[in-house]
Chains A and B, each alone.
Chain A
Amino acid sequence: MIFPFTAIVDQEEMKLGLILNVIDPSIGGLLIMGEKGTAKSTTVRALADLLPEIEIVKGCRFNCAPEGPFCLECLERLEKGETLEVEKKKMEVVELPLGVTEDRVVGTIDIEYAITYGKRHFEPGLLARANRNFLYIDEVNLLEDHIVDLLLDSAAMGINRVEREGISFYHPARFILVGSMNPEEGELRPQFLDRFGLCVEVRAILDKNLRKEILKRKIEFDIEPEKFLEKWRPEQEKLAQKIIEAKRSFKEVKVSEDVYEAIVGLTSELNLDGHRGDIVLLKAAKAYAAFNQRKEVLKEDIKKVAPLALRHRFKRLPFEEPESEVKRFYGILSRI
């Protein structure tokens, strides 16, 4: 039984970051920076639970979408002239534990098959399961470097290409990457940091009334989950509908010349490396506009999502206090 997404108190930014990623997965994931015990993983699971089932090719081990892109196995079936049936499947949160091996991430040779038939056959790894789902990494900053490299590769290409132990295989691996970390326990490689589309900071809520509400809801849920879920069902359905609508319409959201200028103005004034910031900012703004049932991006949208899209891209040395840069950022933002 999963705690309902809409019943999570506050933490609006984290929720928004996740929703925007669901609306447009090409935004490129979310990094959650914050203390322990702030409902990070609960929120991710709750959102996956809220979303409607996805359609996949029946029997496909890689969750291929019926409209493609396809894995090698589905392609083979298509070549043979088979029609691919469709089945529905709940979205899931695939968790990547810290000590994970390369084999388990990318997949490996299927041993039983190798032994019985003397042939090589691919056994899917976590990336296969994560295709079109959420890939959640707790304490992403503590992940081993060579695993990070693997993830970067697949996240960038949307494909998991395996060339090892004498097998050669590929399958689509498009997942919403969600990482959480506590910055006090060591930082993330800048290269990896930049790969996350959005970034939010969460703090434990210290307001007494809100805390009380959190506690109350959680206990209510723990004691009588069915009743609690029933109570929140209307809210849940409303939000799910809103997300589905936005997912359908975000591509049609228009962007005026003014908005383009505002984005480029903002990023160039901040002197950011690369263009990923601009692109992500635009995508996030479009998704946000769609989420609010608008057909056009407003400057307000930029203001709303810019902190999420740019906060982790500020240039600074590892120990420099980010405060001044943050202040400057909000200064620039207010002028838009």
Chain B
Amino acid sequence: MAFFQEFKSFFPELIGNYHAKLALILNLIDQKCGGVLLIGKRGVGKSLLLKLFKKFLNLFNLSYIEIPLNVTEENLIGGIDIEKTLEKGIKVYQEGLLEKAKNSYVLIEEINLLPTEYLSLIFQTSYNYTIIATMNPEEGSISPHFLDKMGMCVYMERIDNFEDYSDLLRLWGNYRVLDEFYLENYEKLYRYVSFVKACRSNIGYEDTIWDYIVEVCLKNMVSTHRAEIFLFFAARAFAAMKGEGMIKPEHVNFVAPLVLLHRKREIEEKPKPQNKEEENQQNLQKNQNLQKEPPKNPPSKGKDSKPEREKEEKELSDLKEVEIVFPSIPKEEVFELGEVFKPKRIFLRKDRIARTTSGRRTKSKTLLKGGRFIRSVMFSKDKDVDLFGTIKTAAPFQKLRGRKDKLVIYKEDIRYKEKENKIGHLVVFVTDGSGSMAANQRMIATKGAIMSLLMDCYQKRDKVAMILFRKFKAEVVLPPTSSVELAHKKLKDLPTGGNTPLSAGLLEAYKLIKKYHLKFPKDRILLVVITDGKANIPIKFYADPLKEVQNISQEIKNLPYIETIVVDTEVKSEFLRMDLAKDLAQWLSATYIPLEDLKAESLTNLIIQKKESQF
């Protein structure tokens, strides 16, 4: 860690966080490093560091732009400012932020909260800018597609190293000294960066470094070619920092975590190997797991990312445990998918909240530029002028206003566009995987039913999440994703057997929905509980399982933004029917549908479809 000693003085207002600082400095040295994404929970200093970075750019007159969250499409790419144009009668152009950002730095706070549409504009490759962004993963993720375009990514965490604190605490007493101390340090950093920057293109490399970089990427399960390119430039900048003339493997190792971390994660989710190449990949991954960490690069990985990754690995192994460790229990079975059918159409109520997501199930007013125009209105939050409406409004008064050649438009004539877009939903499946579902091959039909609902979600572009409860606990088998294909794969491998911890399943759903709602407060959520309702395992030891179910149902019922459906899987022709799911539906004030009815209604649809396809 000796190397990081001098980092104490870089961005000195923030202690520690050397890797984040290193990433920023590498990008100052060489913009080809591809930008930095600072990930961390609130209060770990992401925004502070971004502010300090801005301070640095300001101090030394380096150009940058900031993209605020309330940015509009016009702001980003420029265009005619219709509102001003109409007012002044001459074309008023607005230069786009992105145009201005050419070859400089783009700072974005909370990048994950920007709508995908804007992200796709920002990440268009034609301008050579370097993005420095922050995000809090608790508030939603960012598509791996965009993530891949970021050069580096750093996880920031709370620092508990008091040694570092004490240095700063000593200074805090005297503000004047502190200010001077800061300024001095920034100047030092600037001199340092300028010096290294000048050296970077003199750094040489041997042919073996290519092999090494490729090897590091493959070993870390990174398949995108961007990784290698960014890694090269990062290693080169780092070698320049160390004052060496050649890029060496140790330089690559040192910066590799910064470049590879965010590319590695998503591969772990990858479904089963489909061909030999991928199989090899998986083997590689296994080997890597055995080794845990490549020997040479612990310093940078150690502090920032280890807990995160360990947690993940643990979760992963938990998952496997369920499937692998108890295979001897006779009742555990993985059933086939049952018959797939076209399910009932499920609509939610249309409401009046304007939204920024897209999907196909329910119509909603939209704040984004896209969407279908519905009507022209006098007031609107986003200033999308409806020109036709404006002219129409102004037309009758032209004579009165004494029009000679130009159209006379007053401010009050201006009309705005209101648009509508169908919004997406999160559909949370809470599935009963207990032994009772195995009886009479009930699980086959159930899987068929879920599959059918998934098909529906697929057509409507919904996001899906899946929770399975069985034995003694409930688990999130599939966190919210828009990849319905992935859901399908998970569904196929869903095991059955054991008790029915219904309350745990509902609790898990409640937690998941709460969390999701925090991220996407405007999304609508559909909860689908698929069970026979025969709860027999409580969360708390000795509690009454049904009572628990009732209590949690009450909580779920009180969430204002969800709608619930209970699909009853009990075989209704059986002698001993209990209709417990009916009670559950009542507690949840949910729509109650027996499994068989789910498809009954749409049978007619199916027939029509078949007829059509015959032609």
Contact A36 B121 (CB under 8 A): no
Considering only CB atoms, which chain B residue lies closest to A165 in the complex?
Answer: B388
Interface status of B281 (Cβ within 8 A of chain A): yes
> What is the size category of the interface that chain B forms with chain A?
35 or more
Q: Which residues of B contact A184 (CB under 8 A)?
A: 483, 485-486
Partner of B82, one of A38, A97, A111, A142: A111
Which 7 pairs, one residue from A and one from B, show the smallest C-beta to C-beta distance? Answer: A99-B117, A37-B224, A204-B223, A98-B120, A37-B226, A165-B388, A112-B91
Checking A108, A117, A219, A319 against B229 with a beta-carbon cut-off of 8 angstroms, the contacting residue is A219
Q: Is the CB of A185 within 8 A of B223?
A: no
* Binary A-proximity of B398-413 (CB < 8 A = 1, otherwise 0): 0000000111010000
A204 x B225 contact (CB < 8 A): yes
Cβ distance A37 to chain B, nearest Cβ, rounded Å: 3
- Known interface pairs A114-B407, A116-B89, A183-B485; A38-B225 also in contact (CB < 8 Å): yes
* A116 and B406 within 8 A (CB): yes
- Bound-state CA distance A333–B229 (Å) is 39
Q: Is the CB of B225 within 8 A of A214?
A: yes
Least CB distance from A190 to B in Å reads: 11
The contact of B117 among A98, A115, A206, A212, by CB within 8 Å, is A98
Interface string of A133-146 (1 = CB under 8 A from B): 00000110010111
Instruction: Tell me whether B370 and A144 are in contact (CB under 8 A).
Output: yes
User: Which B-chain residue is minimally distant from A224 (CB atoms)?
Assistant: B201
The closest CB in chain B to the CB of A204 belongs to B223
- Alpha-carbon distance A118/B368, docked complex (angstroms): 30
Check B472 for interface membership: any CB of A closer than 8 A: no
Residues on the A chain within 8 Å of B455, using CB? 317-319
Contacts of A216 in B (CB 8 A): 210
Which of A102, A211, A319 makes the CB contact (< 8 A) with B485?
Answer: A319
Interface flag for B549 (CB, 8 Å):
no
A58 → chain B closest CB, angstroms: 24
Asked whether A212 lies within 8 Å of B211 as measured between CB atoms, the reply is yes
Partner-contacting stretch, out of B142-150, B151-159, B530-538:
B142-150
B224:A115 contact, CB within 8 angstroms: no
Chain B interface SS verdict (over half): helix
* A108–chain B nearest beta-carbon distance, Å: 8
In the assembled complex, how far is the CB of residue A315 from the closest CB belonging to chain B, in whole angstroms?
Answer: 10
Instruction: Flag whether B552 is at the interface (Cβ < 8 A).
Output: no
Query: Nearest Cβ distance between residue A205 and chain B, in whole angstroms?
Result: 8
Pairwise interchain contact B228-A99, C-beta atoms closer than 8 A: no
Pair B368/A99 contact, Cβ less than 8 Å:
yes
Specify the chain A residue showing the minimal Cβ separation from B274: A323
Contacts of B370 in A (CB 8 A): 99-101, 144, 147
> Which of A36, A183, A187 counts the most B-chain CB atoms under 10 A from its CB?
A36
A64 to B465, CA, bound (A): 50
Give the number of residue pairs across the A-B interface with Cβ within 8 Å: 156
Given A111-B80, A112-B90, A116-B89, A211 and B228 contact (CB-CB distance below 8 Å)? yes
In the complex, the answer to whether A36 meets B148 with C-beta atoms within 8 Å is yes
User: How far, in whole Å, are A261 and B572 apart by their CA atoms in the complex?
Assistant: 56
Cα–Cα, bound, A215→B120 (Å): 25
A81: interface (CB < 8 Å)? no
Q: List 24 A-B contacts (CB under 8 A).
A: A35-B223, A35-B224, A37-B227, A95-B124, A97-B120, A97-B121, A99-B117, A111-B80, A112-B85, A115-B89, A115-B409, A144-B358, A146-B371, A165-B387, A182-B145, A186-B482, A187-B485, A206-B281, A215-B232, A216-B210, A218-B225, A219-B229, A222-B229, A317-B455
* Interface bits A203-229 vs B (CB < 8 Å: 1, else 0): 111101001101110110011000000
| B461-500 Cβ-contact flags toward A at 8 Å (1 or 0) | 1000000000000000000001111101000000000000
Indicate whether B553 reaches chain A with its CB closer than 8 angstroms: no
B26-40 vs A, Cβ < 8 Å mask (1 yes, 0 no): 000000100000000
Closest to A184 in B: B483
Assess the B280–A206 pair: CB atoms within 8 A.
yes
Chain A residues within an 8 Å CB radius of B180: none
Q: Which of these binds chain A: B214-222, B291-299, B428-436?
A: B214-222
Within 8 A of B (CB), among A215-260: 215-216, 218-219, 222-223
Task: Determine if B15 is an interface residue (Cβ-Cβ < 8 Å).
Answer: no
Cβ of B206 within 8 Å of any chain A Cβ, yes or no, is no
B458 interface residue, CB < 8 Å from A? Answer: yes
Q: Does the CB pair B210–A144 fall under 8 Å?
A: no
Name A223's closest neighbour in chain B (CB-CB). B201
| Contact partner, B218, options A97, A186, A206, Cβ 8 Å | A206
Question: Does B360 sit within 8 A of A, measured CB to CB?
Answer: yes
B461 touches A186 (CB 8 A): yes
Query: 11 more A-B contacts (CB under 8 A) besides A111-B387, A319-B485?
Result: A37-B227, A111-B86, A112-B85, A114-B407, A115-B406, A115-B409, A138-B120, A185-B145, A187-B485, A211-B228, A319-B484
Q: What CA separation (Å) do A138 and B125 show in the bound complex?
A: 11
CB of A6 to closest CB in B, whole Å: 17
Residue on A nearest B227 in the bound complex, by CB: A37
The answer to whether A39 has its CB under 8 Å from any CB of chain B is: yes
Is A331 among interface residues, defined by CB-CB distance under 8 A? no
**Which residues on the B side are within 8 Å of A117 (C-beta)?**
405
